[in-house]
A and B are shown apart, each in its own frame.
Chain A
Amino acid sequence: MAVNSLNSFLEYRPWNGLRNPAWMGAFAIMRESLKLIFTRKVFWVVFSLAVLNFLLYFFGQYLFFWVADQQPDGLVRVGGFGRANQNDMMQFLRSVLKMDGSPETFRNFINLQSRGIIVLLVLAGASLLGEDLNQGSLIFYQSKSGGMKNYIGGKFLAASFLVHLFATIPALFLFLEICFIDTWTYLLYNPRLLLGIIGYGFVINLGLVSLLFATVGFFRSTIGLIMCWAGVFFLLPSLCAIMIDRLRLNPVLRILDFWYCVERLGEKCLGASPTLLPGQTDQALNPWFAVASLGFVFTVTSILTMRIYFKQGIES
């Protein structure tokens, strides 16, 4: 057996081609991670909802600018449902739906899209990262040229791509839509808004992805992630509401509400007016407190990520 089976080998060929720099491996990790996510049904469900939301805003804005072009105080035909006053419609689209191309439009849109990202990351996060921890695959990545830096970088890029696919990129499309249907002066007059969209996208990116890395490192399974993120996104806001709105404690305690801090920073980036939570009695949190809170979360989660993933790789 030992000698005979050698005859069946096809000849091994040494290889002397050019190699890519080690950091390029991060893109391969990103590509394969995204392929993994794209094969999950949950991605397509959440993506479909996000596309529907995008279309709602897309046509909502279109409707707003179309109505704005009609005769002032005239009657506008609303499909086959009758006629509405042009002013009333403008008022409705501007004040209630806030689909008028203002910073609030983009704030609301990105906030809604972010809910989808949170659901996606919770349900698919374990596939993205937890599987590698469970299968002991980190040592595989560590033994490759780029090592653990490539792994963390590649996975970070993959998760970031999802965040921007859902939030930043469609928001930029909405911004461009206004440039096309109104005038390009919109771009000239609102450079801050454009940068704000990108900035808010990166705030969500850093916040959610760093949280994902650290929590998957601890919990690994989807159930664990759901429980942990439910605590962050439901329990902490409720706790803050009780402490501040009912017990009248210091409003600065709102910094414990991670998602509120993200939204406050987003509002600051976009230049949107601050929104108060239902029942909120205090002023909106000072953005610098939000920066401090998110900075703390990012630092802690980054340290945890490094410790968990590097240690796990070495121990596996």
Chain B
Amino acid sequence: MGEIPVIHCRNLTKKFGPKTVLNNVSFEVYPGIIGLLGPNGAGKSTLIKLILGLDNPTSGDISLFGKTKVELAKIGFMPEAKAIIPSMKGYEFVAYAGELDGLKRTDALRRSHEILDCLGMGESRYRKLGEYSTGMIQKVKLAQALVHDPDLLILDEPTAGLDPPARNQMLDYLTYFARQQGKSIVLSTHLLGDVQTVCDQVVVLNFGVCLASCSLEQLVGNKSDSYLIEVAGNQIDVIAALGEKCLSAQDMGGFTKVFVRCGSSAEINRITSLVLSFGGVIKKFVPLEGNLDDAFFALLDKQRLAGN
């Protein structure tokens, strides 16, 4: 990745009194969509505030696009809190945000309408924010973060409280702005599924410690030798016959999910024959994809065990 890192944290520590919220956090992330993961109290929000320059680190430093001085005009921030003015209309709020980011009034209004068009807000932009649904508020919050055309978008829980279609739409927007408009996006969320859907890189924090900072692929790991077979029929004998090839099995009522390891296509054929010969019926035989949930919890467990 020979590019300038979007965010480069070096030995970042933040203490509030005796409590250490971030402990010697170091990582660098590159243009793309970056997932910032961690359970509650992991230090994600503190890290975001340090990136935005709203608070100063106790020690260590951060550079954005290679510069240690934070230029807020280059950053668009979508807070987790509602952070709206209920009596304002949607387009007014976005234009207002643009003005606060240095746009002239007329430019801000024009940009506001453009962005809201882009996000499919239609006529609802003329309604007061107090009358908006959660999905619409999230869109307006995204619009206000984009109105001044920032290079880096920092989104704190952008899909929180959204129903599945609205969530998918929000993730589509993020993909669009990152892939087609070249924005770098930091996505702070609890929803591992969101990260797995759109992110290229991940930073995992827990108890103020950076557990991982790498590409999503690296974190999830290559599991191309693992497969899932759904077996009906004589399931008990099949599992016994598979022996050590069977990694684990889950009884699903009418069928059993069997996770197996096969090194080659010859081995796949052999397992297929074995299942059939013991009276099993194969409903599904698919490669097992890497799972972010497993990788994430494995990291947390590893940290817990290391602590113990």
Q: Which residues in A have some Cβ–Cβ distance to B below 8 Å?
A: 1-3, 5-6, 8-22, 24-25, 28-29, 32, 36, 39, 131-132, 135-137, 139-147, 150, 313-314, 316
Contact = CB atoms under 8 A, between A and B. Distances in A.
Contacts of B54: 139, 142-143, 147, 313-314
B82 A136 contact: yes
A200 B68 CA distance: 46
Interface stretch (B170-178, B243-251, B281-289): B170-178
Contacts of A25: 99-102
Given A143-B54, A144-B100, A135 B171 contact: no
B253 interface: no
Contacts of A142: 52, 54
B87 interface: yes
A17 B148 CA distance: 10
B100 A137 contact: no
A22 B88 CA distance: 22
Contacts of A11: 118
Given A6-B172, A28-B105, A135-B86, 17 more contacts: A2-B171, A6-B175, A10-B117, A12-B114, A12-B181, A19-B103, A24-B102, A25-B99, A25-B100, A25-B101, A32-B85, A135-B84, A137-B84, A139-B79, A142-B54, A144-B97, A144-B100
Nearest to A142: B54
A225 B145 CA distance: 33
Nearest to A151: B100
A12 to B, nearest CB: 5
Describe B's contact surface by its main secondary structure. helix
A32 B87 CA distance: 10
A42 B111 CA distance: 34
Interface residues of B, number: 48
The 5 tightest CB contacts between A and B, nearest first, are: A136-B81, A19-B102, A144-B100, A143-B77, A15-B149
B118 A5 contact: no
A21 B101 CA distance: 9
A17 B84 contact: no
Given A131-B85, A143-B79, A15 B99 contact: no
Contact of A22 (B102, B115, B181): B102
Contacts of B146: 12
Interface string B118-141: 101000000000000000000000
A12 B145 CA distance: 13
B91 interface: no
A36 B87 contact: yes
B111 A15 contact: yes
Contacts of B149: 14-16
Given A12-B181, A135-B81, A316-B79, A144 B172 contact: no
A18 B81 contact: no
Contacts of B49: 314
A28 B79 contact: no
Contacts of B120: 8-9
Contact of B102 (A20, A36, A313): A20
Contacts of B181: 12, 14
Contacts of B168: 1-2, 5
22 contacts: A1-B168, A1-B169, A3-B172, A5-B168, A9-B120, A12-B146, A13-B114, A14-B181, A16-B149, A17-B107, A20-B104, A22-B102, A25-B102, A29-B100, A32-B96, A39-B87, A139-B77, A143-B54, A143-B75, A143-B79, A147-B72, A316-B81
